[in-house]
Amino acid sequence: MTNKTPKYINIKEIIKDGIRTGEIVSKLPGERVMAKMYDVSYMTVRRAITELVEEGILHKFTTKGAFVSHSKMTPKITLNVGFFLDSGIKEGISSPYYSLVFDALEKEVKKKGYNLVLFSDPDDLNPINNQKKIDGVVICCFPRIENKIQELKRMLPIVLLDNLSTDKSIPSVTLDNFNSSSDAANHLFSYGHKRIGFISGLLDSNVCNERLTGYASALVSNDLNVDKKLIFNGDYSYESGESGAAYLLSLKSPPTAIMCANDSMAIGAMKYIRERGYKIPEDISVVGFDDIKVSSMVFPSLTTITVPIARIAERVIAMLLAMIDGVDLDFQHVVLPAPLTVRNSSANVGSKE
């Protein structure tokens, strides 16, 4: 900048740089404080702040001061919304569950005149690069990429799926995984099952841990001990469902029912169970989680937790577009129920239907 640059323009650029670097995250110092900091008049600071408010970079509240807006640093011009799905997820966007999520998000953004752009490389979560491509981003949050998410939130509106950020500072839409899993286990208890196996997903996320603890809580509430031998650590893949079923059926006292942390593993488990000559549900009941399309088509049709994917997409996009427009959210964290859908893969112990 030259000496001919108006002082208020200099102050605007200083504030913008502070937001970009993360030095200014929320509330700005008072106008008179900033005037002393930068050796200008407080009216110069006021003009800079007023223009930044008009540009949507700051919000100003009477008696409270100026705050960094949740919208991005420049007016929205791309009409693109990002969807970030970590490349560490097996099958990625081709997975039965996340393909449904992507389709639902895409339909929802198109209703609002936006396009959906897919990202899968953590390096794509570079704030400077992405602010040129998208107006906001929906991110399936996992602990291994949270440091990048925390950097990006300073530059772009973000809404999280799957897991919360550790400090709960980023708006989210998640499922009531604990109670849904507990309901599934109680469903099996109502059929007389006492030995229920559990094939978990990846244990590095709240989603899996909540589903596992929901299962364990139901055991305890039914006066049963949690037997670690009945728990197999899967990875959400069809193959790990087969492996989990192989392990559980090899036990000296195998379970009469198997719960799985997603439907892909449940369908893999069903395949292995049938190949070993067992009947479902007469010999072993199986319950999944997600209600992907194929769950109602396999034989027998799969009892599972139905994730309200359309409702998730509706809430996520409504929240994100509100943030892009600089509107304060009524709720930062939305938790949606996921009900049990009972089909033909679960029945009374020893049922001979």
What residues contact 14, with CB distance under 8 A and at least 6 apart? 38
- 170 and 154 inside one domain: yes
**Domain membership of residue 128 as a residue range:** 80-174+309-334
In the chain, % helix, strand, coil (3-state, to 5) comes to 40, 15, 40
- 191 and 288 inside one domain: yes
Counting the structural domains of the chain, the total is 3
Q: What's the confidence (pLDDT) of residue 353?
A: 47
- 220 and 317 inside one domain: no
Does residue 287 contact residue 280 with C-beta atoms inside 8 Å? no
Q: What's the confidence (pLDDT) of residue 139?
A: 95
Q: What's the confidence (pLDDT) of residue 142?
A: 82
- 300 and 213 inside one domain: yes
Does residue 331 contact residue 172 with C-beta atoms inside 8 Å? no
- pLDDT above 60 for 275: yes
Question: Do the bridges between strand 80-84 and strand 136-140 make them parallel or antiparallel, or are there none, so unpaired?
Answer: parallel
- 166 and 314 inside one domain: yes
Q: What is the dihedral sign for C-alpha 51, 57, 62, 63?
A: negative
- 166 and 182 inside one domain: no
- 159 and 231 inside one domain: no
pLDDT single digits (tens) 11-25: 999 998 888 777 787
In a domain, 341, yes or no: no
What residues contact 2, with CB distance under 8 A and at least 6 apart? none
Residue whose C-alpha is closest to residue 285's, from 218, 195, 200: 195
Report, as an integer, the average pLDDT of 47-66: 83
- 165 and 203 inside one domain: no
Report, as an integer, the average pLDDT of 308-321: 97
DSSP 8-class letter at 230: G
Helices (H), the chain: 7-21, 31-38, 42-54, 96-111, 127-130, 146-152, 177-190, 206-221, 238-249, 263-275, 309-324
pLDDT single digits (tens) 144-172: 888 888 888 877 899 999 999 988 999 99
In a domain, 130, yes or no: yes
pLDDT band at residue 216 using 50, 70 and 90 as cut-offs:
very high
- 215 and 289 inside one domain: yes
- 286 and 314 inside one domain: no
